[in-house]
């Protein structure tokens, strides 16, 4: 395994990796529709990231994360995806730990994220807490959980 920074040329590969990961999940139709309308990973998106990393196994990307800056203090873990065949091997934890480290190095003091309820156990294990005071999704039928942690 080797982790490297994301590059502008990774956009199509990361989008495909995200789609393969989401396809393996059993999601309600309204959640699928919401996700389908989220911003695609393209060169413009990658250029504005605070940090992004791709995990390679035998020169093949199997996981990635992207962190953006919400403001001067807060980093947002916009995406963390691991291909289903590589899940439950500690890769998500490795990526999350690196994202936290990179956010700290960038001077951020808080990390936040939106996640599907199916990821709740993972993010709680990583030290995230539910942030009940913030609801960014205008569609009540789409259940996303908001997490935050002090860095």
CATH number of the domain where residue 87 is located? 3.40.630.30
Tens digit of each residue's pLDDT (9 = 90 or more) over 81-128: 999 999 999 999 999 999 999 999 999 999 999 888 888 899 999 999
**How far apart, in whole angstroms, are the C-alpha atoms of residue 53 and residue 70?**
18
**How far apart, in whole angstroms, are the C-alpha atoms of residue 6 and residue 14?**
9
Query: Is the pLDDT at 24 greater than 90, yes or no?
Result: no
The domain in which residue 109 lies consists of 2-150
**How far apart, in whole angstroms, are the C-alpha atoms of residue 41 and residue 29?**
22
Could you count the other beta carbons within 10 Å of the beta carbon of residue 92? 22
Domain total of the chain: 1
Entry pTM = 0.88
pLDDT attached to residue 140: 58
Tens digit of each residue's pLDDT (9 = 90 or more) over 26-71: 877 777 777 766 767 888 888 889 999 999 999 999 999 999 999 9
Query: Is the pLDDT at 136 greater than 70, yes or no?
Result: no
Chain centroid offset of residue 63 CA: 10
Query: Is the pLDDT at 138 greater than 60, yes or no?
Result: no
**What's the token pair of residue 93?**
């934890």
pLDDT attached to residue 25: 82
Instruction: Count helices and strands (H / E) in the chain.
Output: 5, 7
Q: What is the DSSP-derived secondary structure letter of residue 136? A: -
Of 17, 40, 18, residue with least CA distance to 116 = 18
């Amino acid at each position: 395994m080797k982790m490297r920074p994301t590059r502008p040329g990774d956009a199509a590969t990361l989008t495909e990796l995200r789609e393969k990961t989401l396809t393996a999940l059993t999601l309600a139709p309204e959640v699928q529709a919401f996700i389908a309308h989220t911003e695609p990973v393209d060169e413009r998106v990658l250029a504005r990231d605070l940090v992004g990393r791709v995990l390679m196994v035998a020169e093949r990307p199997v996981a990635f994360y992207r962190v953006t800056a919400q403001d001067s203090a807060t980093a947002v873990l916009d995406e963390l995806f691991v291909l289903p065949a590589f899940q439950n091997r500690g890769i998500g934890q490795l990526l999350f730990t690196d994202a936290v480290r990179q956010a700290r190095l960038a001077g951020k003091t808080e990390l936040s994220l939106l996640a599907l309820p199916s990821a709740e156990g993972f993010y709680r294990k990583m030290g995230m807490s539910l942030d009940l005071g913030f609801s960014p999704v205008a569609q009540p039928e789409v259940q996303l959980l908001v997490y935050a942690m002090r860095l």
